[in-house]
Amino acid sequence: MAPIAVGDVIPDGTLAYFDDQDQLQSVSVHTLAAGKKVVLFAVPGAFTPTCSMKHVPGFIEKADELKSKGVEEILCVSVNDPFVMKAWAKTYPDNKHVKFLADGSRTYTKALGVELDLSDKGLGIRSRRFALLVEDLKVKAANIESGGEFTVSSADDILQAL
Amino acid sequence: MAATAAISVAFATRKLLTSSSRNLKQPLSLLSSQRRSSSFFSISSAPLPLRRPQTLRFSTLPSISATISVGDKLPDATLSYFDSADELQTVSADELTSNKKVILFAVPGAFTPTCSQKHLPGFAAKAADFKAKGVDTIDCISVNDAFVMKAWKKDLKIGDDVLMLSDGNGDFTGAIGCELDLSNKPVGLGVRSRRYAMLVENGVVKLLNLEEGGAFSVSSAEDLLKAI
Is it the case that residue B59 has pLDDT exceeding 60? no
Q: Is the pTM of this model over 0.90?
A: no
Q: Residue A80's closest CA among A55, A100, A95, A61? A: A100
Say whether pLDDT at B4 is over 60: no
List, for residues B10-56, the tens digit of each pLDDT value.
443 343 333 333 333 333 333 333 333 333 333 344 444 444 444 43
Q: One digit per residue, pLDDT tens: chain A, 162 residues?
A: 789 999 999 999 999 999 989 999 999 999 999 999 999 999 999 999 887 889 999 999 999 999 999 999 999 999 999 999 999 999 999 999 999 999 998 999 999 999 999 988 888 899 999 999 999 999 999 999 999 899 999 999 999 999
> pLDDT tens for residues B202-212?
999 999 999 98
B149 vs B141: CA distance, rounded Å:
9
CB-based contact B190 A103, cutoff 8 Å = no
B86 reaches A (C-beta below 8 A) = no
Tell me, yes or no, if B111 comes closer than 8 A to chain A by beta carbon: yes
d(C-alpha B90, C-alpha B93), whole Å: 10
Contact residues on chain A for B108, CB-CB shorter than 8 A: none
Q: Is A45 touching B (CB cutoff 8 A)?
A: yes
A83-96: pLDDT as tens digits: 999 999 999 999 99
Cα A2–chain centre separation: 18
Residue B114: closest CA among chain A residues belongs to which residue?
A: A83
Per CB-CB distance under 8 Å, the chain B contacts of A18 are 3
CA dist B8 to A13, B19, B154, B176, Å? 26, 23, 25, 27
Contact call for A121 and B144, based on CB within 8 A: no
What ipTM, to 2 d.p.? 0.92
8 A C-beta contact, residue B77 and residue B94: no
Tell me what pLDDT residue B16 has: 36
Mean pLDDT of all residues belonging to chain B = 78
Q: Hey, which residues of A are catalytic here?
A: 51
CA distance A99 to A8: 23
Beta bridge partners of B73: B204
Residues of B in contact with A48 (CB under 8 A): 145, 147
CA distance B187 to chain A (A): 7
Strand A130-135 to A14-18 pairing: unpaired
- What's residue A119's pLDDT? 86
Distant-in-sequence, close-in-space partners of B162: CB < 8 Å, separation ≥ 6: B120, B123, B124, B127, B138, B139, B140, B153
